[in-house]
Structure 1
Amino acid sequence: MAELLVIRHGQASFGAANYDKLSDLGHVQSQLVGEALKTRGWTPDRVVIGGQVRHRETLEGMGYTDGEIEVDAGFNEYDFHDLLHARYDGNVPDLILGDRKTHFRSLRETVFEWQAGGLPNANESWLDFTTRIESALTKATREGAEKILVVSSGGVIGQITANTVGGPAKMMMTLNLQIKNTGLTKFIVSGPKRFLHEFNATPHLDVPEHADKLTYS
């Protein structure tokens, strides 16, 4: 059996021209989660990250960059900009792009439509999204490692968790919107089987001096 620890990236740059980079707070969160794992004595035998900048920057902040790092785009987030453009025919209302509450409410509805087979003009189908995640998981959890660290994104972690517990497709998005930046989700892996042991934990932020650093996007 192996332990699989999947970490969501630190806070990205919502509303910026380039979302795919950590905010200043995201860098701090990444450092804190890395320090917490090292204090536990938790050292991965295999490190895998998605192919996005925020995944790499989170790992660098955690301090786990000395050994081999596998990059697998199967752990990339779904392209929410593309989904919104597919839903609104390329004319996404400014309020959806700039207001957090409106953005995530609209995104939730958009993902549900995508899951149901809608948005045929999207660059990636729901089936393609779930298939690439399973392929990436199979590779990441292959034999040869007892502790596996994956740095990914909220939608991917939501899908892995929902699939592991046998939940319906919509559970992915419900979980996605709950996952905290640098939240820890742990699975036990035995061959092709996965068992959820811990979801969305942030022990590094659950202390008074860091409570103000908790974010969800």
Structure 2
Amino acid sequence: MAELLVIRHAQASFGADDYDKLSELGHRQSELVGQALRDAGWVPDRLVTGTLKRQQETLSSMGFAGRPDTHPGLNEYDFHDLLNVRFAGKVPDPVRSDRKTHFRTLRETILDWQAGGLEGARESWRMFVDRVDAARRYATKTDARRVLVISSGGPIGQLVAFSMGAPASQMIALNLQVKNTSLTRFFFSSSSFFLHEFNTTPHFATQERAQLLTYS
């Protein structure tokens, strides 16, 4: 069977005016995961990313040659839009600046979204699910045997939940666990798609590198 290796983008610029770019640490994380794959003899024969800058910069810093295909279904859901709908355009400052508050609010907001709330959001939960599945089918409709995908926490959580037949509520539980540059591996064929490993970070396994692990 063929492999689909999905990597979450490296650390973005949390709290900055432009979140959608890698931090200096994010570039270092990307270099390390790319080198770890090459050291293991795992070199992709197809590259796919979403259209977000942080995803494309992650792939670039990983150092693999070749022009990637892109699919917007691999992009993160628009949490800023969901927050604006939830709070009627007046998002509390701690939600934007405090990590603990941010992630607690993220969980609450996504569960509401999944349950059919947040009417007026640019993207419904059903639209998100459908585009992630379209991206999965796009990435796996190939003769390639090793497909490398750079995506984000939400789509990765959804892909894992889909592969396990888990309820929608499990997507956000999985989403919140996904580490920057972690590896989530699936095996696939024309008739099957199943999870092999989730959220691993062998490139941060040493005590020295453990301090480089991040979640945002």
TM-score (normalised: structure 1):
0.98
Matched residues in 1 for 2:157 and 2:205: separation? 21
- The two structures, once aligned, show a CA RMSD in angstroms of 0.7
Please say if 1:56 is aligned against 2:56: yes
Matched residues in 1 for 2:72 and 2:184: separation? 19
Report the equivalent of 1:21.
21
* Range 150-159 or range 184-193, more displaced: 184-193
Matched residues in 1 for 2:104 and 2:128: separation? 21
Within-5 A mapping of 1:60-75:
60-64=60-64, 66-75=65-74
| 3-state secondary structure, aligned to 2:204 | coil
Shift of 1:192: 3.5
| 3-state secondary structure, aligned to 2:209 | helix
Please say if 1:208 is aligned against 2:207: yes
Shift of 1:71: 1.0
- Per-residue CA deviation, residues 89-131 of structure 1 (Å, 9 max, x unaligned), is 1100001111000011011100000001111111100000010
Report the equivalent of 1:143.
142
Within-5 A mapping of 1:174-213:
174-213=173-212
TM-score (normalised: structure 2):
0.98
Report the equivalent of 2:46.
46
Please say if 1:10 is aligned against 2:10: yes
Pairs aligned (count): 216
Within-5 A mapping of 1:58-137:
58-64=58-64, 66-137=65-136
- Per-residue CA deviation, residues 117-173 of structure 1 (Å, 9 max, x unaligned), is 111111100000010011111011013110000000000000000110111101110
Deviation above 6 Å: which 4+ runs of structure 1?
Answer: none
List gaps (5 residues or longer) in structure 2: none
| 3-state secondary structure, aligned to 1:10 | coil
